Structure 1
Amino acid sequence: METPAQNAIPRIISVDDHTVEPPNVWQDRLPAKYADVGPRIVRAPLKEMTFMGGKFAPKMGAPGDDGPIGDWWVYEDLHRPLTRLDTAVGYSRDEIKLEVITYEQMRPGSFSVKERLEDMDVNHVQSALCFPTFPRFCGQTFTEAKDKELGLLCVQAYNDWMVEEWCGQDAQGRLIPLPIIPLWDAELAAAEVRRNAARGARAVCFSEIPPFLGLPSIHSDDWDPFLRACEETQTVIAMHIGSSSKMPSTSADAPPAVGSTITFANCCYSMVDWLMSGKLERFPDLKIMYAEGQIGWIPYILERADVVWEENRGWGGVADKVTVPPSETFKNRIFGCFFDDAFGLKNLDSIGVANVLYETDYPHSDSTWPKSREVAETQMGHLAPDVIERIVRGNAIDLLGLTAEGLWAGSE
């Protein structure tokens, strides 16, 4: 029997979980001529792997070499191993290391719908929006590829799998589709947004800082076709930490703990970009969200942005495109997501209840699985029941166009 305290937390809608793509995603969907060059899984030894200064650098060994064996995604010149950090749930913190693994060493819920739903039940989670793994958080893998024709097919194949299989009938409406786009072409990106919106997708991955990927900034007009498509289809632009392929760090020899402490930094920079770009005024129905960025930093950034706009907008280059205080644009347009941010919750009035979403980060090492409800109880026990309901599910229902029961209804 549940205690009254447990009843205070409604079923969670997590807006930041992750899927580890099964080995057949691209092999089953690409034309046969790409079977030997499209993304495929190869089992091979690890030669070397480092993660310093925010840079992940694995090296695959040759057959017969010594070293731990893992499953590797191979695509063009890219060799990307599956690692324990991709799927760490079920392991104690001290057991989670930067090491290669095979599918058999993963928790099945990482890549299988049936087991995912079972793990969601254990964790008091009703529905979940899942970011990619091999494509990276906004499809950078295919953006960096040499063959853009194949890259576009890979993007479309991933989205077909995401909508039709991962979020298909077996998911019972509990998995919410999150497509990627061909970032290298805004017109193609707009077309892919519209293609997926027509079958019910209401969110899309994007980079927090596109110039880090060698792409135009949000201050340019290059992205306008994509932004227009998102606005017209009511598609939310979802940006995950690391979606610029450059995790925050301070030096080339800084240990991963430095970057892990300041993971929110790119979200901070990105939000200021959007607030000072004028794009949210040019596209008044556009909405964006930041996944895994937490929320505690938001009040000061809004305060500082308002001061700069009030005192320096003339020489600051924004007077002609930012016509209201940035904090006004923020309201109900930009959404921060958290899973462990007691400080942010203490300053909820300065952020706005309507701008906050909840996440569990399954199956990553930061995940609160299988105790997300207990974590929520500890952090949100001081809040009124209606506020808790808005944070853990109500805001997500409104933002992602879910049913009143919190489920994805597809294109119907």
Structure 2
Amino acid sequence: MASFPKIISVDDHVVEPPDVWRDRLPAKFRGAGPRVVRAPVEGMTFRGGRFAPVMGAPGGEGPPADWWVYEDLCRPLTRLDSAVGCSRDEVKLEGITYEDMRPGSYAVAERLADMDANHVQSSLCFPTFPRFCGQTFAEAADRELALACVRAYNDWMVEEWCGPAAAGRLIPLTLVPLWDAELAAEEVRRNAARGVRAVCFSEIPPHLGLPSVHGDGWDPFLRACDETGTVVAMHIGSSSRMPSTSADAPPAVGSALTFANCCFSLVDWLMSGKFDRFPGLRVMYAEGQIGWIPYILERADTVWEENRGWGGVAEKVLTPPSEQFARHVYGCFFDDAFGLRNLAAIGEPNVLYETDYPHSDSTWPRSREVAEEQMAHLPQETVRRLVRGNAIELLGLTPEGLWAGG
């Protein structure tokens, strides 16, 4: 394709620099907030969808890694956090330091340069240490400190990561205090007032010990998102459980099934009645790919039509699930030739493109080439919508595809 449009990636990742909380927390919390410690890795496993690292004593023997330490949590940076620039055979479950990773993982100028090398104009980035929807802070014992950490992260995201040096090319994605829907609503409104149009959320909140979307526990948060035009962004793994089949299943099982939680989550939303109650609400599934969507919509419509008398949805789900999907839901992909062959069954307006930088699945630095290969059969206007037009509309970007700030 002679003039492939510049990509707007709606799912990339940022590895937070060591000073995010040290510099932005109130003085009384700085000693207790998240901090980086260099120490060896004594052990690390990822089996059955569970990550289990063991930190050695700082200064001890063994290959060093940089660890985030917060309350009783010790979480190392790993090669999976920053894999771009390494061959696939070099990407292993091992601890690394900041010096071991590509600087674009955590530094704005270098990120923009890597975006240029990948034909990417703009990028929306999910967090690393807080995890994909801020579970780290939701699990913390000190709620006052956790709320301060959420707000400090959001201030860093808006003011520094997406600040003037980013020239509108980095799009803010913020966190909420998941343990309190009223506080979450306040944080949505605080950030919406400065131009933020996307917030992280869990694909399956009950896996985190939180209310499901079927009750009214999340209504204050959802109402705030509805009223401010804030998109609810759910990344695979944001329920702290990657799909797996057994405790001894290798990580490859979960990697092949990453879309599975999206299936469960989408049906939850479609059968919840929330889209009828909050007509302006929009949700997106990051890194879930799109090839699975047509059958889920077909089956959900059948259940709604044939089984709603006993299925518990007759009074609250007022329109067919496929119609709700068309108005409210976006699927995101970076490598899904099958999904693109079935685009008409998904809906051209409901698909967004991503590059997953700097993770091991990322198509960097070949995102353009991958897209050109998989979209060769599509009209150029359709390609433009998928790789940038739909994102511009959903995230309230300028016509040029940039974030205009508050």
Q: Given the two structures, how large is their TM-score scaled by the length of structure 1?
A: 0.98
Distance 1:354 1:145 in 2: 39
Q: 1:46 aligns with which of 41, 47, 59?
A: 41
SS of aligned partner of 1:74: strand
Aligned to 2:173: 178
- Per-residue deviation at 1:333? 1.0
Distance 1:354 1:111 in 2: 32
Q: 2:15 aligns with which of 20, 23, 35?
A: 20
Equivalences for residues 5-404 of structure 1 within 5 A: 5-7=1-3, 9-404=4-399
Aligned length in residues: 406
Equivalent pair of 2:37/2:58 in contact (CA under 8 Å) = no
- Per-residue deviation at 1:64? 4.1
- Per-residue deviation at 1:170? 0.2
Give aligned-pair identity as a percent: 77
Equivalent pair of 1:187/1:226 in contact (CA under 8 Å) = yes
Question: Which 4+ residue blocks in structure 1 deviate beyond 4 angstroms?
Answer: none
Residues 91-148 of structure 1 show CA distances to partners (whole Å, capped at 9, x for unaligned) of 0101100000000011000000000000000000000000000000000000000000
- Per-residue deviation at 1:32? 2.2
Residues 346-401 of structure 1 show CA distances to partners (whole Å, capped at 9, x for unaligned) of 00000000000000000000000000000000000110000000000000000000
Gap change, CA 1:80 and 1:6, over 3 Å in 2: farther
Residues 252-302 of structure 1 show CA distances to partners (whole Å, capped at 9, x for unaligned) of 000000000000000110000000000011001100000000000000000
- Per-residue deviation at 1:324? 1.3
SS of aligned partner of 2:44: strand
Specify every segment of 5 or more residues in structure 1 that has no aligned partner in the other structure, as ranges. Answer: none
- Per-residue deviation at 1:36? 2.1
Residues 285-332 of structure 1 show CA distances to partners (whole Å, capped at 9, x for unaligned) of 100000000000000000000000011001110000011110011103
Distance 1:314 1:226 in 2: 30
SS of aligned partner of 2:227: helix
Q: CA RMSD in A?
A: 0.6
Structure 2 residue identity aligned to 1:12: I
Structure 2 residue identity aligned to 1:218: V
Structure 2 residue identity aligned to 1:266: N
SS of aligned partner of 2:24: coil
Distance 1:328 1:38 in 2: 45
SS of aligned partner of 1:331: helix
Residues 20-67 of structure 1 show CA distances to partners (whole Å, capped at 9, x for unaligned) of 000000000112222221100000010100000000000101134332
Distance 1:232 1:211 in 2: 25
Distance 1:281 1:157 in 2: 34
- Per-residue deviation at 1:68? 1.5
- Per-residue deviation at 1:6? 4.3
SS of aligned partner of 2:23: coil
Equivalent pair of 1:6/1:377 in contact (CA under 8 Å) = no
Equivalent pair of 2:84/2:102 in contact (CA under 8 Å) = yes
The answer on 1:409 being equivalent to 2:404 is yes
SS of aligned partner of 2:233: strand
